[in-house]
């Protein structure tokens, strides 16, 4: 069995929480697994776009932060005149650049990035803020995103799980067949100390070259709804939390408008 050492080392520095956790192996299989699970990127983009335009009707530009492999950008580019992305993982960033040629994908850490301009809307989907280690990093990430908005600009964030909704010891599994490969992934999430969660996953991949295996470790923080709200307000945004089953795993959305 081979081991994804970069992912296993995720605990060593704050940078690895969001960069190395998505190794080349994980990035290669990411879309197959989540599309196999039924993730509807186009529908999620429609929900976000509707929320943005309800608050900023003329919104013409959007920045997708922690854009991953660029699946949301593939739809957003048809809904806004200008779209760009920010992604820390080199392999995820390369995948996104290949899908949306002509769209700028910035190399950046959600806690401290600067694209040099503002956008009518900024979004971060799929619970990326769960990788933040504490409320200071959470506030830094929200402030970095809000700094890319003009007055009246809209910030939309999908949180990770709240403590009250987290199932300690949760076990999950996926089995997906693609055109040229089959992937099985099993995992378990459990609290380690306080609000910290360790998620361990084991991947098995079968294709024309044979069968291979690797492990992935992700470390998350369970933030309270009030932690997200405080971060938005500190960043100069009015904010509301919207319960929604239309995005991701039904964790809802925080929607802010910058003063």
Q: What's the confidence (pLDDT) of residue 21?
A: 77
pLDDT at residue 3 is higher than 80? no
Give the separation between CA 60 and CA 153, rounded to whole angstroms: 11
Global pTM? 0.91
Q: What's the confidence (pLDDT) of residue 129?
A: 98
Give the separation between CA 40 and CA 63, rounded to whole angstroms: 19
Mean pLDDT of 123-151: 98
Domain borders along the chain are 5-36+163-221, 41-160+223-258
Angle at 11 between CA 122 and CA 231, to 5 degrees: 30
Q: What's the confidence (pLDDT) of residue 8?
A: 34
Mean pLDDT of 5-10: 35
Using alpha carbons, select from 225, 240, 242, 57 the residue that is nearest to residue 153: 57
pLDDT digits (tens, 9 = 90+) for 204-228: 999 999 999 999 999 999 999 999 9
Mean pLDDT of 27-35: 95
Give the separation between CA 13 and CA 9, rounded to whole angstroms: 8
Mean pLDDT of 90-99: 96
**Cβ–Cβ under 8 Å, residues 67 and 88:** no
Give the separation between CA 205 and CA 185, rounded to whole angstroms: 9
pLDDT digits (tens, 9 = 90+) for 32-60: 999 999 999 999 999 999 999 999 999 99
Q: What's the confidence (pLDDT) of residue 20?
A: 54
- The better pLDDT of the pair 13, 144 is held by 144
Q: What's the confidence (pLDDT) of residue 16?
A: 44
- The better pLDDT of the pair 111, 5 is held by 111
> CATH assignment of 5-36+163-221?
2.20.130.10
pLDDT digits (tens, 9 = 90+) for 172-201: 999 999 999 999 999 999 999 999 999 999
Is the CATH code 3.40.50.150 the one for domain 41-160+223-258?
yes
């Amino acid at each position: 069995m081979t081991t994804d050492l970069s992912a296993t080392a995720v605990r060593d520095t704050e940078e690895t929480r969001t960069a190395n956790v998505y190794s080349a192996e994980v990035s290669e299989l990411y879309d197959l697994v989540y599309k196999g699970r039924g993730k509807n990127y186009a529908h999620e983009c429609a929900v976000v776009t509707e929320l943005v335009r309800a608050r900023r009707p003329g919104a013409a530009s959007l920045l997708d932060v922690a854009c991953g492999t660029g699946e949301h950008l593939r739809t957003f580019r048809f809904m806004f005149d200008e779209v760009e992305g920010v992604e820390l993982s080199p392999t995820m960033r390369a995948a996104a650049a290949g899908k949306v040629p002509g769209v700028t994908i910035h190399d950046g850490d959600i806690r401290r990035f600067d694209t040099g301009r503002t956008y009518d809307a900024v979004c971060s989907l799929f619970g990326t803020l769960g990788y933040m280690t504490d409320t200071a990093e959470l506030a830094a990430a929200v402030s970095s995103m809000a700094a890319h908005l003009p007055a009246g600009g809209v910030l939309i964030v999908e949180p990770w799980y709240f403590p009250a909704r987290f199932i300690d010891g949760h076990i999950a599994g996926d089995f997906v067949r693609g055109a040229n490969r089959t992937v099985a992934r099993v995992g378990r999430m459990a609290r380690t100390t306080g609000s910290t969660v360790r998620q361990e996953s084991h991947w098995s991949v079968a294709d024309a070259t044979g069968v291979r295996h690797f492990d992935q470790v992700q470390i998350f923080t369970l933030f309270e709804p009030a932690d997200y709200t405080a971060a938005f307000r500190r960043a100069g945004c009015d904010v509301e939390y919207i319960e929604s089953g239309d995005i991701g795993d039904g964790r809802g959305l925080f929607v802010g408008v910058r003063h």
